[in-house]
């Protein structure tokens, strides 16, 4: 029995004797099936072919990046909280070297994930740090491919993980798409960790918002307005989205409002 991992999206499934016939995450319109057909791997194979790099982004925030790039290629971010570290978003590879490195940084008290494309090997990560809770928005429960008691499905529009660490449901990309507000980040000016709910584009004065990134399906005006409304009450100056270098170092709140206005004008 193996918990097979989809090569295209990186999401791990419940243990089975043979690879599943389909990846439901990839068959959804927001994602896509591998051009060579559905392909699977296992965590053991990943450990033999890949490694994780630990990178400090700023004081209190550390990135975990798999090299070479696997699946969607997102990074995980370890953010310091008053009661312990929270892992924001997740990646497929977890190995002994990664665990040792993060234990030296204080370990992980909880995992929180922005949306189903980044569920990856979340249960393995939880187990490696003592079965810590995983926080997912309940609106996306149908996309949990490996159910486990460590998963906590939260509801409503916000959920406090710790003092100064708050999950905020924005919707858009998925009904439960979430950002994490870190009030003490950026030297107290505030940080948003956004996955790709709010995506930092190549011109880092702007962000964008999409229903599907690989298939270039835009969001509706009402969905954009809902995202902007969800983050408007938050105080933040910096954004980290899901990939290395996709960062707005300052002026991020203005960039979000400016980008939403540009997006809505372009889709009129």
Structural domain boundaries in the chain: 5-266
Given this model, what pLDDT does residue 19 score?
Answer: 96
For residue 22, count CB atoms less than 10 angstroms from its CB and return exposed for 0-12, middle for 13-18, buried for 19 or more. exposed
Phi, psi of 52 (to 5 degrees): -100, 140
Helix axes 221-231, 252-266, angle to 10 degrees: 170
For residue 145, count CB atoms less than 10 angstroms from its CB and return exposed for 0-12, middle for 13-18, buried for 19 or more. buried
Q: Kindly provide the b/e burial profile for residues 179-208, where b requires at least 16 CB atoms within 10 angstroms of the residue's own CB.
A: bbbbbbbbeeebbbbbbbbbbbeeebebbb
Helices (H), the chain: 24-27, 43-49, 96-104, 122-128, 221-231, 252-266
Q: Kindly report the CATH class assigned to 5-266.
A: alpha beta
CA angle 137, 69, 40 (to 5 degrees): 70
Q: Are residues 176 and 159 in contact, defined by beta-carbon separation less than 8 angstroms?
A: no
Q: What is the pLDDT of residues 131-161, one digit of tens each?
A: 999 999 999 999 999 999 999 999 999 999 9
Q: What is the mean pLDDT of residues 61-82?
A: 97
The continuous run of DSSP H or E covering 155 comes out as none
Given this model, what pLDDT does residue 267 score?
Answer: 85
With tokens 């927001």, the residue in question is 30
Q: What is the pLDDT of residues 209-252, one digit of tens each?
A: 999 999 999 999 999 999 999 999 999 999 999 999 899 999 99
**pLDDT above 90 (res 185):** yes
């Amino acid at each position: 029995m193996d918990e097979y991992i989809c090569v295209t999206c990186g999401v791990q499934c419940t243990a089975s004797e043979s690879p599943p016939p389909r990846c439901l995450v990839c068959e959804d319109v927001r994602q896509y099936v591998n051009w060579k057909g559905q392909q699977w791997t296992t965590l053991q194979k990943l450990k033999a072919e890949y490694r994780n790099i630990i990178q400090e982004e700023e004081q209190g925030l550390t990135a975990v990046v798999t090299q070479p790039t696997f699946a969607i290629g997102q990074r995980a971010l370890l953010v310091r909280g008053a009661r312990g570290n929270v892992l924001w978003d997740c990646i497929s590879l977890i190995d002994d070297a990664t665990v040792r490195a993060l234990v030296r940084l204080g370990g992980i008290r909880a995992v929180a994930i922005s949306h189903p494309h980044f569920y990856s090997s979340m249960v393995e990560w939880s187990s490696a740090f003592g079965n810590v809770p995983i926080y997912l928005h309940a609106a996306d429960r149908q996309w949990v491919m490996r159910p486990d008691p460590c998963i906590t499905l939260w509801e409503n529009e916000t959920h406090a993980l710790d003092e100064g660490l708050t999950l905020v449901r924005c919707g858009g990309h998925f009904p439960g798409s979430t950002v994490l507000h870190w009030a003490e980040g950026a030297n107290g000016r505030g940080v948003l960790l956004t996955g790709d709910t709010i995506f930092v584009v190549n011109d880092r004065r702007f962000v964008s918002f999409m229903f599907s990134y690989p298939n270039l399906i835009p969001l509706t005006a009402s969905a954009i307005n809902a995202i902007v409304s969800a983050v408007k009450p938050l105080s933040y100056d910096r954004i980290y989205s899901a990939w290395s270098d996709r960062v707005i170092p300052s002026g991020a709140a203005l960039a979000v409002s400016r980008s939403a206005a540009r997006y809505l004008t372009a889709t009129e």
